[in-house]
Structure 1
Amino acid sequence: MRTQKRCLGYVAIVVDDYDRAIEYYTDKLGFTLVEDTPQPGKRWVVVTPHPESDCNLLLAQASGERQQGFIGDQCGGRVFLFLQTDDFWRDYTAMKEKGVHFCQQPREEEYGWVVVFEDLYGNRWDLYQNALP
């Protein structure tokens, strides 16, 4: 009997410009560009935090005024995405040095280290590392 694996493959994030978004996510956050394929009237652009990750970001350039209104506010001001790391201080320091905007100071919680940052568009993210058991 075959076991079926289910996971999120892509999370779409609305951006204003493909190239600007690619530059930010790869240069500032250290993501890898997985695919950039032209399609009629758009591009299929995928970035990932790690090449072996099962979940990737699909950078979707806004098409029209309605979609443009969601750039930077895809979750109504709440933390939208959660970037898990195996070395919190390494990634926090590297991102800070590259100009990523952090909304607060890092803090230790019962589950590990966490800090909120905003991406290029103002979407809020958690950078976090789980505490070791």
Structure 2
Amino acid sequence: MPAISYCSVFVDDQEKALRFYTDVLGFVLKHDVPMGGPRWLTVTAPDDPDGTQLLLEPDEHPAVRPFKAALVEDGIPCTAFEVDDVHAEVQRLSTEHGVTVVQPPAPAGPVTIAVIDDTCGNLLQLFCSPAS
């Protein structure tokens, strides 16, 4: 059975994305490999440095930017991250970092969700289970 090693998030600026995903969200840098322009740039969860890597991939392919714009226009997050407490995390992100909250925390079936803007052309969903 295959394992998930990488998951891509297409970003409009790799340097800005690195700052957002590390300084704001709290991921840690795993790889930063120059590739003649774009970089192989990955981050991981701080408590799982050998776990799944999030690839901050340039959105240079002609199909990517229209796809990203359509998702944002429709309010659809490109991916989701689990947090311990959505309310506390949204408060921290908006107060300490000025992150734009697109959808404040709200119940959605068995979880609570919120949607934020990653400043790199994407919406991100944050969620937690009811026990959180």
Global fold match (TM > 0.5): yes
The answer to whether 1:93 aligns with 2:91 is yes
Unpaired runs of at least 5, structure 2 = none
> Max radius of gyration: which structure?
1
Higher helix share: 2
Percent identity among equivalent residues? 26
Could you list the structure 1 runs, at least 4 aligned residues long, displaced by more than 6 angstroms after superposition.
Answer: none
CA contact (8 A) 2:9 2:54 kept: yes
Question: What are structure 1's unaligned runs of at least 5 residues?
Answer: none
TM-score, normalized by length of structure 1?
A: 0.77
- TM-aligned CA distance change 1:74 to 1:41, over 3 Å: farther
Matches within 5 A, 1:15-54: 15-52=11-48, 54=51
Deviation per residue, 1:15-65 (Å, 9 max, x gap)? 22221111111122222111111224431100124341633210112336x
Task: Quote the RMSD (CA, aligned, Å).
Answer: 2.7
Q: TM-score, normalised by structure 2?
A: 0.77
In the aligned structure 2, how far is the partner of 1:88 from the partner of 1:28? Answer: 15
Q: Give yes or no for contact 2:86–2:126 (8 Å, CA) kept in 1.
A: yes
Distance (Å, rounded) in 2 between the aligned partners of 1:101 and 1:92: 9
Query: Number of aligned pairs?
Result: 128
1:105 aligns with 2:101: no
